[in-house]
Each structure stands twice: as structure tokens, then as C-alpha cells.
Amino acid sequence: MRESVLKYSSGAVKATLAKGERTLLRGVSFSLEEGESLALIGETGSGKTMTALSIMRLLPRGIRQEGGEALFLGEELPDTEGMRSILGSGIVYIPQSGAEALAPLRRLRFQLRDGLMKNGFPREKAWARSLELLSLVGFDEPERILGSYPFELSGGMAQRVVMALAACAEARLVIADEPTNGLDREATAAWFGLARKLFPSAAIIVITHDISVAGLCDRAAVLCGGVLCESGPAGKLLADPAHPYTRALIAALPANGMTETPRLRSGGSDCPFYGRCPEASEACEGEIPEIRLAGRSCRCAMVQTLSR
Ligand code: SF4
């Protein structure tokens, strides 16, 4: 049996604003076992980055979490202070912009050496391991890269160095924020191949606005307005989406030739997709129940059952 790496439930994540309180996440939950990958999908503002921040206990000032849990390898993750020793070792985060993740005025050999030493690697072996990691992420001249500053790298090169830095740890959970943004199909597949090579048994969460990326993951979770609309095995979710929002995201893919769903109506429902949903009815005006079956879940008033 595979080990459970993450069992997450958001509870309610709320922001205190000048105009009052706003709920940013409610009832988002999923779990991941070793070696599994999850695409966390949604538009800008859907709550996917907030979900990652809440797992890492890095919610910004003014945002608080009520309830919920984040069990990492069976144990509740500590508070922000306690996370210092876990982030960069058991859990690694790969940000969207490689360049922003690197210290701008520090040669890369020192950044990789520090990453390795933080994870117990002996100083005298750090140079050889750094060369090895840079070769693994596809650099032909790793010595030259180790002698460089971040500003001497292109965006793509910086992203690969960040992957090498992440691989300094033997992470059990990898969270990557829009790692395939702007990449074509082939480069996207290459990113996944590299991630699996660097983190063979880790659970991987890929944050993305592109639902087609789910095709390269084991599981998918679709967020809209801070609510988990649908989740399940990625292949099933793409081939047989149950939720109207999932269907709208698939229809909006460039390959399917459609544009964004227009706004059709205002407020009046617990469902965050109500304003744009072409399938809304009176049934959507109350509380929306979640149904679960065979590893799938869906929160929509019009969905009574899920296929296996
Ligand atoms: S609950 Fe109603 S408005 Fe929301 S997605 Fe389902 S059909 Fe559409």
C-alpha cells in the first residue's frame, strides 16, 4: 500500500477587508499518496494559490484559516515558525518565476551548496552533486552555470536551476506554481518527465489554469470561487466531466475553439459558478450538496450521481 503524503482540508479561509469579511476558500479537500500527482485547476482568483499557501502555512497577513487540517505523512503540519525546517526539505515549493526564486547577487554554486547542506549533504561533496543536478535538469555546461549569477540566465534556464535547487531536498511533497505556463505541449510533457525524474516518489501538486495539464497528472481538482467544484482521477474528469464549470474550462481550451463563458445573471446562489452557468435552475438557489462516488466528487445541484 502506498503511503499517504498529504491529507488536506481547507476549512474556511477568510480575508478581513475594509468592506468586511470575504471567504476565499471553503471546504476544499483532497489527499495524495506517494508518487501521485494532482493538477489543481482554476482561473485567476479561484483559490488555487491560496490553497498552496494554506498547506505551507504561509497565508498572508490579514487572512486566517478556521478549521481544516493538513496532515503531512500522517502528522498535522506545524505553524509558520515550525514550517521553516520542513519547507525546502520535506516539502518544496517551485514558484512560477524561476528568476524571482533565486538570490539575485549570489553565484549559483553557493545557492546550490546551501540547498544541499540544508538537507544534510556534506560541504565537500556539494560541488560534485551540484554538477550532477544541473546535468539532470539538462545543462550541457554545468560548471559554467555554477559560476553564473541569476541575471545571466534566460527565464527557461532560471526555471531549470530552480528545479535543481528543489531537488537538493529529498522532498516528499512538491508544490509547483504554474510551471508549464507559456510552454507548448512538448515542453509541458518534458517538464513532467523531468519532475518525475527528480522527485521519483514524491507527491506532486501542479497549480495551473490550463485544464489540459490534468492529462499529465493522476488526479485533478477544479476550483471555482474558492470552492472545490469537482475532483477525481484526471483521465475520468477530462473524459467525463460532471460539473458545468469543468465542462466550461474544457470547452474554453484553444483546441476546442471556444472563448470564456460570459456572465449570464447576478448573485442568488451558494454556487460560485451560478453567474456564468448555462445550466443554472431554481435548484441552484439553495445550499449546494457535494456528492462522492468511487474517488470522484462534485458539488452541483444538477448532478445526482457520478459515473465510476
Ligand atoms: S449548482 Fe447550478 S449554477 Fe452551479 S454549476 Fe451546478 S447547475 Fe450550474
Residue 112 CA, ligand 1 centroid: distance in Å: 48
Are residues 250 and 283 located together in one domain of the fold? yes
Are residues 72 and 108 located together in one domain of the fold? no
**Cα torsion through 197, 198, 203, 208, rounded to 10:** -90
Q: How far is CA 127 from the centre of its chain?
A: 31
Atom nearest to 303 CA in ligand 1: 6
User: Quick check: is 233 in a domain?
Assistant: yes
Are residues 108 and 215 located together in one domain of the fold? no
Task: Give the count of domains, the chain.
Answer: 2
pLDDT at 152 over 90: yes
Which domain-ending residue is among 119, 149, 169? 169
3-state secondary structure of 226: coil
Are residues 86 and 121 located together in one domain of the fold? no
Residue 296's pLDDT is what?
Answer: 95
Q: Kindly report the number of other CB atoms within 10 A of residue 166's CB atom.
A: 25
The pLDDT tens digits for 251-293 are 988 777 666 677 777 778 899 999 999 999 999 998 899 999 9
Residue 153 CA, ligand 1 centroid: distance in Å: 46
User: Quick check: is 216 in a domain?
Assistant: yes
Q: Are 29 and 228 in contact (CB under 8 A)?
A: yes
Q: Are 219 and 39 in contact (CB under 8 A)?
A: yes
Residue 257's pLDDT is what?
Answer: 67
Residue 258's pLDDT is what?
Answer: 62
Lowest mean pLDDT among 32-36, 187-191, 221-225: 187-191
The pLDDT tens digits for 15-63 are 998 888 999 999 999 999 999 999 999 999 999 999 999 999 999 999 9
User: Quick check: is 308 in a domain?
Assistant: no
Q: Give the separation between CA 25 and CA 20, rounded to whole angstroms.
A: 16
Residue 99's pLDDT is what?
Answer: 75
Are residues 212 and 290 located together in one domain of the fold? yes
Residue 217's pLDDT is what?
Answer: 97
User: Quick check: is 22 in a domain?
Assistant: yes
Element (H, E) at 232: strand 227-233
Residue 253 CA, ligand 1 centroid: distance in Å: 20
Pairing mode of beta strands 63-66, 173-177: unpaired
Which domain-ending residue is among 169, 191, 208? 169
> Which residues span the domain enclosing 144?
98-169
Residue 277 CA, ligand 1 centroid: distance in Å: 6
3-state secondary structure of 159: helix
Mean pLDDT of 211-223: 96
Are residues 84 and 117 located together in one domain of the fold? no
Are residues 21 and 75 located together in one domain of the fold? yes
Residue 184: give its domain's CATH number: 3.40.50.300
Which domain-ending residue is among 169, 204, 219? 169
Pocket test for ligand 1, best of 298, 302, 304 (most atoms within 8 A of CB): 302
Atom nearest to 229 CA in ligand 1: 5
Mean pLDDT of 245-254: 91
Closest CA to ligand 1's atom 3: 274
CA angle at 291 for the pair 258 and 256, rounded to the nearest 5°: 10
Closest CA to ligand 1's atom 7: 280
Are residues 218 and 271 located together in one domain of the fold? yes
- Tell me which residue of 90, 213, 100 sits closest to 162, measured CA to CA: 100
Q: Which residues line ligand 1 (CB under 6 A)?
A: 244-245, 269, 271, 273-274, 277, 279-280, 284, 288, 300-302
Mean pLDDT of the residues in the chain: 93
Q: Give the separation between CA 271 and CA 261, rounded to whole angstroms.
A: 15
Lowest mean pLDDT among 12-16, 89-93, 146-150, 155-159: 155-159
The pLDDT tens digits for 103-119 are 999 999 999 999 999 99
User: Quick check: is 60 in a domain?
Assistant: yes
User: Quick check: is 305 in a domain?
Assistant: no
Note the pTM of the prediction, 2 decimals.
0.93
Pocket test for ligand 1, best of 284, 298, 303, 305 (most atoms within 8 A of CB): 284
User: Quick check: is 257 in a domain?
Assistant: yes
User: Quick check: is 163 in a domain?
Assistant: yes
Q: Kindly report the number of other CB atoms within 10 A of residue 43's CB atom.
A: 16
pLDDT at 149 over 90: yes
